[in-house]
Amino acid sequence: MKTLAVTLFVFFSFTLKAQLDIDTTLSKKELVYKVLMSESSDMLIRNIKYRGSDFSIASFVNESPEVLIDKGLILSTGDVFDAMGPNKKPNTGVRASGMRDQDLQSIATSIVIDATVLEFEILALRDSLSFEYVFASEEYPEYVNQGVNDVFGFFVKELNSRALSPHNIALLDDGRTTVSIDNVNHRVNEEYFLKSDFFEGKSLQFWEQNREMMMRARVFEFDGFTVPLEAKAYLKAGKWYQFKIAISDVGDRYFDSAVMIKAQSFKSKGNRIPQADEVVKSFIESELKDEKLDLAIRNGQLSFDLQIQFNSNESVILKQSFKVLSELVDLMQRFPSLKVLVIGHTDNVGSESDNLMLSEKRALAVKAFLSRNGINKERLSVAFKGESEPKASNDTDVGMRENRRVEFVLTY
């Protein structure tokens, strides 16, 4: 009786804490900037696009982090909420977008349908790209080698290159074998495969002997998974690439599959490219193209002034400066590795001590604006110079107005 009681306690403890939380409320930009990437991603992002049903993409948190992936991004051929366990059915699936995708069609064995596609352009500041992921499917094990497997891929192509088709980097460790149901299962490359089973209808003894499988069956609906894998690609220095995450049904519109990418694992690795400063400088100039920038590279840092307006002896940001500060917010979201030092300045009206305090208030006001608009405070710092570093002569009203400013120093 004691042994049974302990087994039941362990079983129900696992059951109670095993849960998958799905969130479809984030925008596609937020999914890329805040879920996929981190402040150490060392990567520039632009032109985010999505094709698919709104219910086929989401962020997720796995409250049993020892099971596969703790949190991240999920793309499904059906409804992402159907990924939530426990595993009860062998054929969970719904009709989704009905969309096709040419790149997926090129690796499929039949007609591609219900495609879910997230794509964007990347420029890595290091010489390679990598991220962690898991592929899961309801087609395991029934449709192994049946010729109608769902497909997915991570497609990379240099922009404006002569290459006719992108390179799929969803590969096993040999760098040649694509990750698919036929290539990773209980018969082939089984070291990369994790099976599941129905959560109900099994004895306590079975689950006691298969605890890891029990947790997978409790958290997820899918009948089979890959182990966590790493996708990677070597990139040319200073080049923009088109990157695409895509998954779709093949043949039928049921038996859902999904790909899950680990949160904040999407980053560039390896050696820093030699022209990184010039690449970042060019990117900032293109993002803030409507502003008059005095952008300079100084000691490995980028510094520039923006036309942030202040009235004399005041630290309140004027409305005409909101536009450029909003553009700076957008820039920092596109470049999560970017950190900003805000430096406050004044003209020479008033005492040096008063101007030092005023310049601090101006820097703090700008920092507060950026923070209120979603920039992590850890990416922001302030300094204050008072009247000690004028940009123009304080002998004219125009010069004094130019000196009532903030300066930005960027590091990454």
Q: Where are the domains of the chain?
A: 2-272, 276-411
Kindly report the average pLDDT of the chain as a whole number. Answer: 88
In whole angstroms, what is the distance from residue 59 CA to residue 76 CA? 12
pLDDT one-digit tens code per residue, 195-220: 887 766 677 788 788 888 888 888 99
153 has pLDDT over 90 = yes
- The structure's pTM equals 0.84
What phi, psi does 278 have (nearest 5°)?
-65, -35
Helix segments in 168-236, DSSP class H:
204-209, 211-219
Burial profile 288-327: b = 16 or more Cβ within 10 angstroms, e = fewer: beebebebeeeeeebbbbbebbbeeeebebeeebeebbeb
Confidence of residue 294 (pLDDT cuts 50, 70, 90): low
SS3 for 357? helix
SS3 for 1? coil
pLDDT confidence of residue 272: 87
Please tell me the least confidently modeled range out of 9-23, 104-118, 208-222, 259-273: 9-23
> Burial, 338: exposed, middle or buried (Cβ in 10 Å; 0-12, 13-18, 19+)?
buried
pLDDT one-digit tens code per residue, 116-137: 999 999 999 999 999 999 999 9
The CATH topology of domain 276-411 is 60s Ribosomal Protein L30; Chain: A; (3.30.1330)
What phi, psi does 62 have (nearest 5°)?
-100, 110
7 has pLDDT over 60 = no
- Report whether 150 contacts 139 (CB < 8 A): yes
In whole angstroms, what is the distance from residue 12 CA to residue 96 CA? 35
